[in-house]
């Protein structure tokens, strides 16, 4: 039996595969990718995954005995079908069962935010700076807002598979309607597109997130207001995570997570809302970049 860690990151545009020696030695034995071509539907996505694995087997001369797979959306642990995926061809499909049939090995699925948090815990910023952390919360604030909980080095997925999905907690009515069918979700206020929409509501200008950050540095009034609002709501939204989980570390990934003021003004706002007279929780940036997804998938089988 192979002891290597095999992981696949199933993305909307590409599927990436990796083979790692072990948890203690994450220098990849092999890494490669294929296009997802999701427009061709569910069966084609399965076919692409199999094609990638066959390629890796040929290149390495090794065969997996199990496989970790990071997915957009999550496998419902009760219905055993996919849900909440923006690669909509996956929703409602028994992805785990179909992959196990196709590959002939056990497959462990986790959503991409969980994989991100898991990789940063074992090999990234948590391992480097907070090796004793028992509870880690990984946030992704990008096009959407999601999160993953890592407890004692393992994904905590929850009864319904939605543990950590703070992006769809209610935050404020001013966010307006969310794609999930509710109103005022964290995502409607703290995602990149939501910040851009707010800036546009003040200026009638459609600009990128980077432009807003630059403009704020140059004291553009609307940009400053956009980031101030972001920081206030960030504090309010993250305080509910801290009051519930009290994690040792919160890792903030995604494009919005790059904004410097979150770590100062956002952190100050957090202190106002947390149910404690101080906040000892570390707010940190990830270090693995785009690699976190596929490394996290491999860590699922460790």
- Nearer to Zn ion by Cβ, of 34 and 180: the residue is 180
Output the smallest distance, CB 286 to Zn ion, in A.
23
CA 227 to chain centre: 22
Q: Which of 5, 55, 63, 62 is closest to 32 using CA atoms?
A: 55
Residue 162 touches Zn ion, criterion: CB under 5 A: no
- Nearer to Zn ion by Cβ, of 38 and 168: the residue is 168
Query: Distance between CA atoms of 69 and 48, rounded to whole angstroms?
Result: 13
Which residues lie across from 146 on neighbouring strands?
140
Residue 180 touches Zn ion, criterion: CB under 5 A: yes
Residue 287 touches Zn ion, criterion: CB under 5 A: no
CB 177 within 8 A of CB 189: no
Residue 74 touches Zn ion, criterion: CB under 5 A: no
- Nearer to Zn ion by Cβ, of 28 and 144: the residue is 144
Output the smallest distance, CB 88 to Zn ion, in A.
16
How many residues in the shown chain lie near Zn ion by CB under 5 A?
5
CB 283 within 8 A of CB 271: no
Sign, Cα dihedral of 243, 124, 8, 11: positive
Q: Which of 75, 185, 195, 227 binds Zn ion (CB under 5 A)?
A: 185
Residue 189 touches Zn ion, criterion: CB under 5 A: no
Residue 202 touches Zn ion, criterion: CB under 5 A: no
Stretch that binds Zn ion, among 90-98, 172-180, 223-231, 285-293 (CB under 5 A): 172-180
Query: Distance between CA atoms of 302 and 297, rounded to whole angstroms?
Result: 10
Assigned token pair, 180: 């999930």
28 C-beta neighbours (distance < 10 Å), count: 18
Residue 165 touches Zn ion, criterion: CB under 5 A: no
Stretch that binds Zn ion, among 31-39, 125-133, 182-190, 277-285 (CB under 5 A): 182-190
Residues of this chain that interact with Zn ion (CB under 5 A) are 168, 178, 180, 182, 185
């Amino acid at each position: 039996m192979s002891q290597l860690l095999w992981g696949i990151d199933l993305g909307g545009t590409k599927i990436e595969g990796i083979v790692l020696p072990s948890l203690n030695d994450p220098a990849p034995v092999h890494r490669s990718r294929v296009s997802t071509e999701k427009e061709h539907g569910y069966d084609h996505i399965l076919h692409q995954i199999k094609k990638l694995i066959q390629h890796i087997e040929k290149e390495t001369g090794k065969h997996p005995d199990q496989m970790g797979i990071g997915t957009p959306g999550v496998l419902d642990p009760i219905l055993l079908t996919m849900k909440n995926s923006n690669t909509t061809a996956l929703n409602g499909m028994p992805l785990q069962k179909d992959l196990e049939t196709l590959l002939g090995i056990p497959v462990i699925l986790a959503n991409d935010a969980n994989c991100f948090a898991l990789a940063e815990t074992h090999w990234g910023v948590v391992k480097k700076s907070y090796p004793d952390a028992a509870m880690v919360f990984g946030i992704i604030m990008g096009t959407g807002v999601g999160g993953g909980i890592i407890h004692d080095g393992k994904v905590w997925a929850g009864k319904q598979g939605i543990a950590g999905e703070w992006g769809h907690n209610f935050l404020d009515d001013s966010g307006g309607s969310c794609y999930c069918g509710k109103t005022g979700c964290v995502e409607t206020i703290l995602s990149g597109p939501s910040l851009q929409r707010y800036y546009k509501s003040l200026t009638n200008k459609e600009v990128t997130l980077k432009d807003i950050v630059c403009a704020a540095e140059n004291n553009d009034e609307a940009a400053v207001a956009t980031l101030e609002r972001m920081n206030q709501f960030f504090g309010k939204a993250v305080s509910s995570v801290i009051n519930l989980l009290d994690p040792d570390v919160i890792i903030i990934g995604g494009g919005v997570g790059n904004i410097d003021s979150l770590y100062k003004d956002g952190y100050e706002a957090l202190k106002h809302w947390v149910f404690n007279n101080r906040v000892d929780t570390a707010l940190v940036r990830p270090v693995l970049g785009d690699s976190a997804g596929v490394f996290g998938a491999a860590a699922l089988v460790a």
